[in-house]
């Protein structure tokens, strides 16, 4: 997830100081013909602007920029404490006014507890502009965003800069670096996505295929596919998106398994929800091509945009197609629809796709403050709980903050979803404020969900005696079936809950039983790591083993509290000898997004740990973890080795010991 990388960029810096009372009004330049740009300026020829980094700021590489936002054209970040970031986004929005554009931006800000701090009209790049400040949190990380929006030559320019709330950084160097250049806007050329892979989808030779929805999408020129983090930033529930840069046309495909008896209610719900979310009204009816049919569609107008939405319910699935574009470009958009439109069709070869996805998957390695996800194993160290997610089926799973965000609940520890079987599951681990017996806890858990009281049966969760109840709950779209397992041990309540449409739950009995069987409890907290008798440290949370040279070494966790989620720092010392291991998890993004995140975080680790002393020298690379690792030596004599394994970033810092000898024994553990 892109959010974790964003949070890391702020966490790895030394956040501190007081928040500034309010950012200054910026007055970036609008260059005249013949004006010379400073050396080192980045010029974006298509959208006619330049960024000139000031001392202490640096431009990001192009592939890293694209992972930040699908409309991002350039980005910068502060070098000293990694607490300042900024990016420039440009969209072709013919006929959309500045105030409507600002409101669309505000409506789409996906921060927790977001609040508008200030909003004012200013001049920027010699254009009327709106500047506003928003504060909120992303995956629990407090952030402060400053935006400047203006319109030039029928294009909306958005400059966004952000920092950790309370870091006190002056973000004006980013805005001062921007220069609007004279000349005509060029025709945007988007790179076509030809190959990409996710958990249950891929793009292969330009075709999108999804095992969960059993759909494939071909996007003819000039359309480009939108997948991965870029798609999540638009709508995390969507299967796939597609885009034309000029005029600015977007499309989304969303699908969900639905039993036939709920078709009408689901169709009505999806149609009305889209109308409500658009904040507009239906101005006419039209059709869109979807799964080989011309499907009736609602056409809505809102804030200068026209949106067309179609829903098709058949074959136990409701598929939505939503496209939107500026009203002023509606005739051009509809003409393009007639000439070339992305083709959504049934998946032609599910078996081949399933085999290709299995072959492409890498072992999952994620760390949290008190848990790990490694491969298909979830370990809760604080409560001594282990879940081995079965390989049978297509369970996808998320832990801690990600799980809570997806389920929209504050006390979910693990969320699982099988999109092929349309089964959901969540694990809740909650210390009880007062002693409760197992029967009372089970009744309370059933009541919280809103299920009718039904006799509970005795069962087991791992080694513990447990209760299970099953019942249907009436909902707006029809009955949903819930299967609730609970147990209580050592003052902690455990709930493992499954839900879905009744027929999907009935069909998934074997999957439910198998997942229940994978739970195991140790009865006490699990150690994050331990020193073995031969002097080898085995770190269960960070996933490595390190033989230390000789006896007498002490080990301690020195992870700063602000880094306890996405990273870990383990210090080993013996007199004046020091070894420190740093492991940083950029988050669960995939494909090119993850590769860019890895590079970003690697650079952050280099600046934070290897280049913290003036006069640090970079030496020739050393082999570590099967890769050429960056090697630095500081004036103090400390050496630093930094690399990644394609999943996480690793650093080893040593003083008074042989770096090559110690690093050669370092191994990752499954």
594: pLDDT strictly greater than 70: no
Q: What is the largest CA-CA distance in the chain?
A: 83
Q: Which tokens hold the place of 81?
A: 């404490």
pLDDT in tens, 602-653: 777 777 776 667 888 999 999 999 999 999 999 989 999 999 887 888 999 9
**What gap in Å lies between CA 666 and CA 664, rounded to an integer?**
6
- Is residue 653 within 8 A of residue 637, CB to CB? The reply is no
pLDDT at residue 2 is higher than 60 = no
Q: What is the DSSP letter of 550?
A: S
DSSP designation for 182: P
| pLDDT higher than threshold 90 for residue 187 | no
pLDDT of residue 19: 30
Q: What is the mean pLDDT of residues 87-91?
A: 92
Instruction: Specify the residue for token string 């929006």.
Output: 149
Res 35 pLDDT > 60: no
Query: Any idea which of 62-71, 161-170, 288-297 has the lowest mean pLDDT?
Result: 62-71
Q: Does the pLDDT of residue 598 top 70, yes or no? A: no
CB 566 within 8 A of CB 11: yes
pLDDT exceeds cutoff 90 at 405: no
pLDDT in tens, 511-534: 999 999 999 988 789 999 999 999
**What contacts 301, CB < 8 A, 6 or more positions away?**
280, 281, 283, 307, 327
Whether 587 shows a pLDDT value over 90: the answer reads no
- How far is it, in rounded angstroms, from Cα 164 to Cα 159? 17
Is the confidence at residue 575, as pLDDT, over 60? yes
**What percentage of the chain exceeds 90 in pLDDT?**
54
Give the C-alpha distances (Å, rounded to integers) separating 56 from 24, 75, 395. 19, 14, 45
Would you say residue 289 has pLDDT above 60? yes
Q: What is the pLDDT of residues 217-228, one digit of tens each?
A: 999 999 999 998
Band of residue 80 on the pLDDT scale cut at 50, 70, 90: low
Q: What is the mean pLDDT of the chain?
A: 86
| The predicted structure's pLDDT at residue 189 | 66
Q: Are 438 and 467 in contact (CB under 8 A)?
A: yes
**Residues 618-628: pLDDT tens digits?**
999 999 999 99
Q: What does DSSP assign to residue 126?
A: T
According to the model, what pLDDT value does residue 241 have? 95
Has residue 414 got a pLDDT over 90?
yes
Is residue 277 classed as helix, strand or coil in its secondary structure?
helix
Nearest to 475 by CA among 639, 294, 265: 265
The pLDDT confidence band at residue 184, using thresholds 50, 70 and 90, is confident
Report the alpha-carbon distance of residue 49 to residue 30 in Å, rounded. 9
| Range with the poorest average pLDDT among 118-122, 293-297, 389-393 | 389-393
Q: What pLDDT does residue 96 have?
A: 86
What average pLDDT does this structure show over 6-16?
Answer: 35
Residue 401 pLDDT class (50, 70, 90 cuts)? confident
Sheet with 385-388, side-by-side order of all strands: 365-367, 371-374, 377-380, 385-388, 519-521
Task: Identify the pLDDT of residue 140.
Answer: 67
Q: Can you give the pLDDT at residue 595?
A: 54
Average pLDDT value for residue range 404-425: 88
Structural domains for the chain:
2-180 (3.40.1000.10), 195-355 (3.40.1000.10), 382-521 (3.40.1000.10), 529-668 (3.40.1000.10)
Contact predicate 376/389, CB 8 Å: yes
pLDDT tens for each residue of 430-489: 999 888 999 999 999 999 888 988 889 999 998 899 999 999 988 877 889 999 999 999
For residue 229, pLDDT beyond 90: no
Q: Which residue has the higher pLDDT, 137 or 202?
A: 202
pLDDT 10s digits, 362-391: 777 888 888 898 889 999 999 999 999 998
CA distance 373 to 466: 25
CA distance 417 to 424: 5
Which single residue is written with the structure tokens 């007081």?
A: 18
Summarize the confidence of residues 294-314 as an average pLDDT.
94
Grade residue 6 by pLDDT with cuts at 50, 70 and 90: very low
Q: Is the peptide bond prior to 432 cis by the omega test (within 30 degrees of 0)?
A: no
Q: Which helix (H) or strand (E) holds 441?
A: helix 438-449
pLDDT of residue 601: 74
pLDDT band at 17 (very low <50, low <70, confident <90, very high): very low
Name the more confident of 548 and 69.
548
Share of the chain above pLDDT 70, in %: 89
- The helix or strand, by DSSP H or E, that contains position 573, with its residue range, turns out to be strand 567-574
Are 426 and 406 in contact, with CB atoms under 8 Å apart? no
pLDDT single digits (tens) 144-172: 999 999 999 889 999 999 988 766 778 99
Q: What is the pLDDT of residue 71?
A: 78
Task: Determine the pLDDT at residue 263.
Answer: 94
Across 338-354, average pLDDT: 92
CA–CA dist 666, 670 (Å, integer) = 13
User: Hey, what are 614's tokens?
Assistant: 């003036």
């Amino acid at each position: 997830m892109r959010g974790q990388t964003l949070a890391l960029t702020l966490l790895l810096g030394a956040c501190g100081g007081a928040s500034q009372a309010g950012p200054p009004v910026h007055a970036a330049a609008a260059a005249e013909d013949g004006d010379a740009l400073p050396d080192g300026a980045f010029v974006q020829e298509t959208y006619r602007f330049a960024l000139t980094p000031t001392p202490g700021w640096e431009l990001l590489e192009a592939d890293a920029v694209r992972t930040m936002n699908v409309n991002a054209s350039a980005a910068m970040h502060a070098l000293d404490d990694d607490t300042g970031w900024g990016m420039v986004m440009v969209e072709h929005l013919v006929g959309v006014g500045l105030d409507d554009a600002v409101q669309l931006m505000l409506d789409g800000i996906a921060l927790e507890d977001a609040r508008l701090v200030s909003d004012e009209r200013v001049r920027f790049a010699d254009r009327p502009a709106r500047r506003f400040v928003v504060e909120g949190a992303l995956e629990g990380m407090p952030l402060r965003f400053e935006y400047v929006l203006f319109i030039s030559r029928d294009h909306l320019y958005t400059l966004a800069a952000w920092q950790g709330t309370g870091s006190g950084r002056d973000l004006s160097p980013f805005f001062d670096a921007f220069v609007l250049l004279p000349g005509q806007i060029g025709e945007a050329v988007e790179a076509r996505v030809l190959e990409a892979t996710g958990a249950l989808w891929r793009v292969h030779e330009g075709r999108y295929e999804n095992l969960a929805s059993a759909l494939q999408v071909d996007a003819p020129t000039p359309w480009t596919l939108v997948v991965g983090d870029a798609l999540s930033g638009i709508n995390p529930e969507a299967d796939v998106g597609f885009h034309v840069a000029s005029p600015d046309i977007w499309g989304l495909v969303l699908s969900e398994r639905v039993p036939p008896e709920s078709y009408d209610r689901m169709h009505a719900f999806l149609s009305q929800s889209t109308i409500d979310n658009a904040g507009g009204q239906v101005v006419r009816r039209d059709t869109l091509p979807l799964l080989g049919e011309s499907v009736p569609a609602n056409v809505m107008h809102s804030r200068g945009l026209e949106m067309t939405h179609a829903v098709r319910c058949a074959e136990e699935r409701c598929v939505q197609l939503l496209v939107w574009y500026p009203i002023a470009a509606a005739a051009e958009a509809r003409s393009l629809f007639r000439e070339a439109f992305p083709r959504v069709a049934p998946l032609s070869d599910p078996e081949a796709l399933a085999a290709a996805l299995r072959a492409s998957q890498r072992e999952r390695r994620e760390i949290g403050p008190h848990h790990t996800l490694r491969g298909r194993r979830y370990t809760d160290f604080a409560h001594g709980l282990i879940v081995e997610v079965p390989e049978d089926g297509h369970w996808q799973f998320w832990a801690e903050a990600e799980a809570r965000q997806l389920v929209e609940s504050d006390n979910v520890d693990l969320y699982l979803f099988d999109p092929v079987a349309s089964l959901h599951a969540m694990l809740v681990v909650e210390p009880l404020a007062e002693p409760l017996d197992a029967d009372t806890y089970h009744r309370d858990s059933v009541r919280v969900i809103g299920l009718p009281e039904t006799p509970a049966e005795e069962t087991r969760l791992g080694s513990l005696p447990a209760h299970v109840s099953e019942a249907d709950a009436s909902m707006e779209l029809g009955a949903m079936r819930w299967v609730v397992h609970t147990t209580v041990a050592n003052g902690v309540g455990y709930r493992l809950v499954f839900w879905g449409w009744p027929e999907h739950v009935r069909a998934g009995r074997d999957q439910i039983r198998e997942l229940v069987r994978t739970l195991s409890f140790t009865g006490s907290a699990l150690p994050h790591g331990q020193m073995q008798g031969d002097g080898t440290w085995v770190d269960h949370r960070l996933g490595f083993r390190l033989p230390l040279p000789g006896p007498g070494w002490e080990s301690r966790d020195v992870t700063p509290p602000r880094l306890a989620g996405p990273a870990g720092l383990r210090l080993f010392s013996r007199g004046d000898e020091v070894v420190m291991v740093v492991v940083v998890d950029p988050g669960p993004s995939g494909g090119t997004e993850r590769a860019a995140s890895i590079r970003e975080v690697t650079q952050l680790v280099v600046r934070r740990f290897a280049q913290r002393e003036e006069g640090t020298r970079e030496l020739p690379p050393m082999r570590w973890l099967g890769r050429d690792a960056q090697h630095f030596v500081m004036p103090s004599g400390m050496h630093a080795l930094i690399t990644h394994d394609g999943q996480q970033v690793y650093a080893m810092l040593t003083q008074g010991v042989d770096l090559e000898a110690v690093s050669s024994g370092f191994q990752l553990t499954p």
